[in-house]
Amino acid sequence: MRSTYSVLVENNPGVLARVAGLFSRRGYNIDSLSVSRTDDPTVSRMTIVVEGEKVVLEQVTKQLRKLVDVIRVRDITDEPHVDRELVLIKVNADSGTRGDIMQIVEIFRGRIVDVGEYTSIVEVTGDEGKINAIENALKPFGIIELVRTGKVAMQRGTRTVLVED
Amino acid sequence: MRSEDMLTGGQILVECLKNEGVDVIFGYPGGAVLPIYDALYDSDILHVLTRHEQAAAHAADGYARATGRPGVCMATSGPGATNLVTGIATAAMDSVPMVAITGQVPTTLIGKDAFQEADITGITMPITKHNYLVRDVNDLPRIVKEAFYIATTGRPGPVLIDIPRDVSAGKTEYRDPGPIGLRGYMPRLAGEPAKVAAAAKLIAQARRPLIYAGGGVINSGAAEYLRKLAETIMAPVAVTLMGIGCFPGDHPLFLGMLGMHGARYTNYAVNECDLLLAIGVRFDDRVTGKVDSFASHAKVIHIDIDPAEFGKNVPVDISIAGDVRTVLVDLIKNLTCNPDPAWQEKIARWKKEYPLDYSREGLRPQAVIRELSDMLQGRQYRVTTEVGQNQMWAAQHFCITRPRSFISSGGLGTMGYGFPAAIGVQVACPDELVFDIAGDGSIQMNIQELTTAVNYELPVNVAILNNGYLGMVRQWQELFYNRRYSQTELTNPDFVKVAEAFGAEGLRVEKSAEIRPALEQAIASSKPVFLDFIVEREENVMPIVPPGEAISRMLG
């Protein structure tokens, strides 16, 4: 089972190490983790995707809540939410293939953000499925380098990490 | 700001410690903590100079376990700080309130691999409840206040404060930090009423209830309520190693320790109960043995301050998060029960049939412990233990009747813990008799602390159960490794002469008839005493549950 957690933490030095360390020393596997500050500069927000059995995931949330710097943990897996990832893909592109690549990027509503003599960098945002799909679509051209941000997620409607309906 | 209003970080720290009611610090100085030691020079806080930082941490831990107040230890940066690590981990595993203060290289040198630099906040992240690196002297009052609050509230634990030298030397005005504002830390005290009611209902339905009580009962000061609960529902009480003392050892409902070295009758009772009331415990693997078979006929109610313990190792039917004492007070209000008289009879029969016994031939370690236990009844005493056979025999055979008087490293199983812990206990309880039950292996792990005991005139007694082996490891080699005693036979120094060389007293005991006179002599002495009991070499701790087995399947 794969779960998505929204976690609010104090924007203190070392907080990422505390969270990441908790996962590694208890043998929990992080699929993805994205973190940055929020509109409140004293608070950072993490979106953590974890793979594991139900009891393991329950421990994950309980152990996270024990950290003094963790303000709120919410498992939003089963709540209506929007999630996005951003990917940058550097792909082989010359005059012969550039047109095909542009077409594919168009279909995925991505953008070409850099064009070189032999390469292009493609930027796409979307859910995990879409990101995987464009990766597969560009593979035949030869992917030189790829970087994904990991998932960020937010509940729909009036629900927030702090406020329930 | 007038210059006379300015204090150094070290002076501010001392002010903060005094505000927290700290009267003793166990520590060891060094370059990076000099500004703090300089401030201590003018203060009336007692500083106990140990001979190793690990011992300072254990002594602070012993002080905390004996009093319930946070123990404070201090070390310099780098090796001083890393030497505290074992002591901090020991405190973390056993939920002991502790504040560890370490010096750090100046902020300008952090990250440069400076002399005696170690990333101690990074190193101790997994073994502290929380830790701080102070970057600005103005933050010190707030951080110290938070550290003590975090260490002592909720599930207690160690908190480390790392203070760079320029911060402890830096000057500013001391300002009270005001109220604590920790958004992410709000320990829950009262249990949910609906869950307490559900637990009362389950208790009412039970025919064969059993209480499994641990260190959480002692930490929350709930011993009196535990007793009331047990007597109201007529439930026998099994305790964990950490729970020894939370229920009177001479009470008819007392079953002693359960688990790997639990008595046969205790483990049988756990196996057959239909309700397991787990209070302030964490279902440690030494307690449960094979988890699937643990209390497999029972509904389980689990009361603990730390919700992360629920369902971590064993599934529970009702979990109540809250302070054990608060929850027990609520629970006791509306209790009815209907235990089956045959349950008590069955346990009484088992007790008769499978007592904790040992041979009377030669000088047996169990006899030493029984004799000491008998002699101390009716007196004010505290017992600490080292780790291994000595610890398990003490847990099995010492009759402990009040909380905070049996002090032992449970979770981490730290050899070398008992003696420095006893020093901390003796500092906390100067008028009480303090005994460390030791093995010949364990005592040598912090034997240098004899100097500390002698210097501060702390009449700690150490009963060394000397069998010339790392006894528990040898026992496992005997039982599970075909008697291949790899690296467990010890060639020891003459402990009597060692004691004398340090300025303490030493006594050797080789016959069982000499046990009592030797103990009397130690009790009467105003010096620290090493009692070197030359016990039967291959005596085992029995019963024993083989690792990975169900606790009802004991050997011995």
B-contacting residues of A 109-148, CB under 8 Å? none
Q: Which residues of B touch A66 (CB under 8 A)?
A: 306, 308
Q: What mean pLDDT do residues B465-484 have?
A: 97
Question: Tell me: the pLDDT tens digits for A47-100?
Answer: 999 998 888 889 989 999 999 999 999 999 999 999 999 999 999 999 999 999
Is there a cis peptide before residue B252, judged by omega within 30 degrees of 0? no
Q: Give 3-state DSSP helix, strand, coil % of chain A, rounded to 5.
A: 30, 40, 30
The mean pLDDT value for B163-181 works out to 96
pLDDT digits 0-9 by tens, B281-304: 999 999 999 999 999 999 999 999
pLDDT, position B1: 59
In the chain, the amino acid numbered A86 is: L
What is the rounded distance in angstroms from the CA atom of residue B159 to the CA atom of residue B180? Answer: 16
The predicted structure's pLDDT at residue A27: 85
How many C-alpha atoms does A19 have within 13 Å on its Cβ side?
31
Tokens representing B5? 């209003």
Q: Are residues B273 and B208 in contact, defined by beta-carbon separation less than 8 angstroms?
A: yes
Contacts of B122 in chain A (CB under 8 A): 14, 17
Q: Chain B contact for A13, CB < 8 A?
A: yes
Residue type, A75: D
> Phi and psi (nearest 5°) for B384?
-115, 165
Please state which of the four CATH numbers 2.170.150.20, 3.40.50.1220, 3.20.10.10, 3.40.50.300 is assigned to the domain occupying B193-353.
Answer: 3.40.50.1220
Domains B6-173 and B193-353 share a fold: yes
How do the domains of chain B map onto residue ranges?
6-173, 193-353, 365-534
Cα–Cα distance for residue pair A15/A22, rounded to 1 Å: 11
**pLDDT per residue over B5-36, tens digit each?**
899 999 999 999 999 999 999 999 999 999 99
> B6-173 domain in CATH 3.10.20.30?
no
In angstroms, the CA B292 to CA B290 distance is: 6
- Which amino acid is residue B428, in one-letter code? A
Least Cα distance to B553 among B260, B136, B143, B310 occurs for B260
The whole-number pLDDT of residue B339 equals 82
- Domains in chain A, start-ordered, CATH in brackets? 2-75 (3.30.70.260), 82-152 (3.30.70.1150)
Q: Which of B359, B507, B366 is nearest to B437 (CA)?
A: B366
How crowded is residue B176: how many other Cβ atoms within 10 Å of its Cβ?
11
CB contact under 8 A, A71 and B126: no
Q: Which residue of A has its CA nearest to B124?
A: A18
Q: Do B363 and B510 touch, CB atoms closer than 8 A? A: yes
Main-chain phi, psi angles of B398, to 5 degrees: -85, 130
Is residue B242 within 8 A of residue B391, CB to CB? The reply is no
Please report, in angstroms and rounded to a whole number, the separation of the first and last CA atoms in chain B.
Answer: 74
| Partner residue opposite A68 with nearest CB, options B185, B306, B312 | B185
CA of B135 vs chain A CAs: smallest distance (Å): 11
Q: Which of residues 458-497 of B touch A (CB under 8 A)?
A: none
B381 pLDDT more than 90: yes
With both helix axes pointing from N to C terminus, report the angle between B9-19 and B140-152 in degrees, rounded to the nearest 10.
30
Distance from chain centroid for Cα A109 = 18
Beta carbons of B312 and A10 less than 8 Å apart: no
**Which CATH number among 3.90.79.10, 3.40.190.10, 3.30.70.2740, 3.40.50.970 corresponds to the domain B365-534?**
3.40.50.970
SS3 B357: coil
How many residues does this entry show for chain A? 165
N- to C-terminal Cα separation, chain A: 25
